[in-house]
Amino acid sequence: MKKTIIFIFALFLIASCSGDDPVHEAETGTLGGNCYPNGTCNAALECSEENICIESAVTDGDTEHSDAGDTASDNDPADSGEDRQDGDTSDTVSDDEPVENPDAECGNGRKEQGEVCEKGETKLCSEIDSSYKSGNVECNDNCNGWLTVNCMTSELEPLATFPARTHELDYLYEGVEAYLEQENILHELWTEALFNASITMNGETYSIPHPQANTHWIAAYYDSSTLSFYQNSYYCDDEMNFQFATPSVMFGAALSSLKAGKELSIGISDGNEVNMLIEDIMNADDCVMLVGYGTLKVDSVNISAGEAGNFKFTTSKIGLYLPGSTPEGDVTSELETAGFKICR
């Protein structure tokens, strides 16, 4: 666009000079005179397509010819600093400006010259600006900057916190079908919940687990890629009738991350190895009420079916947040993309 404006401006200048009295013909190399044979003019002038010396156009503070490079003596045209082709109005490229790679393609999986980031790339907000205390940035759709909508300048306090816990599962179900058959459930029932907290929301107390629940099934199953842990709670009467009571606590971790001694981050974005959700039921639909943030250390692990399986872990204090306001910002879209509904 800049080149077009300069060219039109040059033509306007030529047209405005076309009515000059031909008796007073300007000297070669001066304003209105013919250009030197090598296509240059005196200082602050440039040669137009009509071979006439005109004033150099300056736009946005960017001079196309520097005085030092294009100064020519009236008597010695060979002193001009740079030979130019007629009509050359190319912009000067600053050393500070990144040279764009014409073959660069945003979203092709690699960061190329001229790109700040690659589509889908994320990092902590504090890595791009130390004033941010929490949240993640994501590369924008043009790969030329970061989206900071989820960045926060102050630490976000959790609504409640699960205390640090250590627990060992000495039986693992192979697949969700085996888990639902509950073959080992009598050895997996506890009178005390592993994870518990109370939160005041909308003027009411939201308890994890439900305050009337007195029995808690704590178990886990695995498939080809993931280990899934559940704390499901029930009210059991004197006649051993069980009634399911929400909310439930669950977390999932990739099998490839479960290495003894390794500490895993708990969160929602792809940068976390463990995802922890507090699930409830609203309008007859399962939904996510809260999400957890903290760490989980793998004390021991043996991914095998039945009594051969083992998974012992220790969690740090785990902060609980609404999906719309977490240390990573609003994670509702990530959860919905993964197939979860949000409790509203």
pLDDT tens for 137-149 read: 889 998 999 988 7
Range of the domain at 123: 105-155
Cβ pair 44, 53 in contact under 8 A: no
**pTM for the full model?**
0.59
- For residue 87, being part of any structural domain is answered with no
Domain co-membership, 204 together with 186: yes
Domain co-membership, 70 together with 201: no
pLDDT tens for 196-243 read: 999 998 889 999 999 999 999 999 999 999 999 999 999 999 888 889
- For residue 91, being part of any structural domain is answered with no
Give the full edge-to-edge strand order of the sheet including 136-139.
122-124, 136-139, 146-147
- For residue 86, being part of any structural domain is answered with no
Domain co-membership, 132 together with 66: no
- For residue 282, being part of any structural domain is answered with yes
Please tell me the distance from the alpha carbon of residue 311 to that of residue 227, in angstroms, as a whole number: 10
Cβ pair 14, 33 in contact under 8 A: no
Q: Report the domain count for the chain.
A: 3
Residue 157 burial by CB count (10 A; 0-12/13-18/19+): exposed, middle or buried? exposed
Cβ pair 187, 307 in contact under 8 A: no
Three-class secondary structure of residue 257 per DSSP: helix
Q: Please give the pLDDT value at position 78.
A: 42
Domain co-membership, 128 together with 214: no
Q: Which two tokens stand for residue 10?
A: 């040059």
- For residue 343, being part of any structural domain is answered with no
- For residue 54, being part of any structural domain is answered with yes
Three-class secondary structure of residue 274 per DSSP: strand
